[in-house]
Amino acid sequence: LVRVPLADGLAKAKELLAAQPGDSNRVVHVLSDLRAADFAEDGDAVKAAVGEMTAAGTKVFLVDTAHPARKPG
């Protein structure tokens, strides 16, 4: 496992997607414990990156991997 800042990981995903043919299905799964600290530091960059990818037709799924599981709400 490698831990990188969420914004950096999304930037790398965008780079990899840009190298793919335009007619390919684009799906990004982000596995994270969704730490509040990540969003406090890079929240605007994360929101912008996800927005740019979805605007370009990429499906982005954020998967919360925190243990123990969080309660809804």
Reported as a single tens digit per residue, the pLDDT across 25-60 is 999 999 888 878 777 888 899 999 999 999 999 999
What span, in angstroms and rounded, lies between the C-alpha atoms of 28 and 26?
Answer: 7
pLDDT at 73: 63
Handedness of CA 45, 46, 52, 55 (dihedral sign): negative
> Are the C-beta atoms of 28 and 59 separated by less than 8 Å?
yes
> Are the C-beta atoms of 72 and 65 separated by less than 8 Å?
no
pLDDT at 4: 82
What is the reported pTM?
A: 0.79
